[in-house]
Structure 1
Amino acid sequence: MGIGTSIFLLAVGAILTFAVNASVGGVDLDIVGWILMAAGVLGLIMTAAVWGRRRQTVATAPAAEPVEYRVEERRDIVPPR
């Protein structure tokens, strides 16, 4: 889950929890909002943890010797006129 999705879940959850006063048959929208906000916060924490690991430096083996390329001219082909 990315940062954008996490923020979206937080926003939708906050709207359902604090701004909507409707009732849907058998579903408590306040609880759904709190669950969405919790999922958004968890997503932000997980994204921060993953991005934090990616930014660590990793030691790599030294680069191999550069490859030498040789270009040879073919003399058996007549150039176009």
Structure 2
Amino acid sequence: MGLGGCILLIGAGAILAFATDWHMDTVNVGMAGWIMMVVGVIGVFVYASVMRRRRMVVPPTTTVVSDDERRL
């Protein structure tokens, strides 16, 4: 699940938790919204940690030439 999917989960969960007044006998809609928001936030943190590992920059190894070697 990418970053867009996580943000979509957070938004849909917030709508279910705060902006609806549905009452169902089998499903607590408010609790389902909170669960969706928590899963979305966890997904954002996991996505950020994975992308941080992928984008680590390793400096290239270069040989250092001293002034003594240039004069030869």
TM-score (normalised: structure 2)? 0.77
Alignment map for 1:41-60 (pairs within 5 Å): 41-58=41-58
What residue in structure 1 maps to residue 4 of structure 2? 4
Task: Give the unaligned 5+ runs of structure 2.
Answer: 61-72
Equivalents in 2 of 1:41, 1:21: separation in Å? Answer: 24
Shift of 1:57: 2.6
Q: Which has the larger radius of gyration?
A: 1
- Tell me, in whole angstroms, the C-alpha distance in 1 between the residues paired with 2:19 and 2:48: 29
Structure with higher helix content: 2
| Alpha-carbon distance in 2 for matches of 1:4, 1:24 | 29
Q: Deviations over 1:7-38 (max 9, x none)?
A: 00000000000001011222100100000000
* CA–CA distance in structure 2, aligned partners of residues 59 and 32 of structure 1: 46
- Mind listing any 5+ residue stretches in structure 1 that lack a counterpart? 61-81
Q: 1:51, CA displacement in angstroms?
A: 0.4
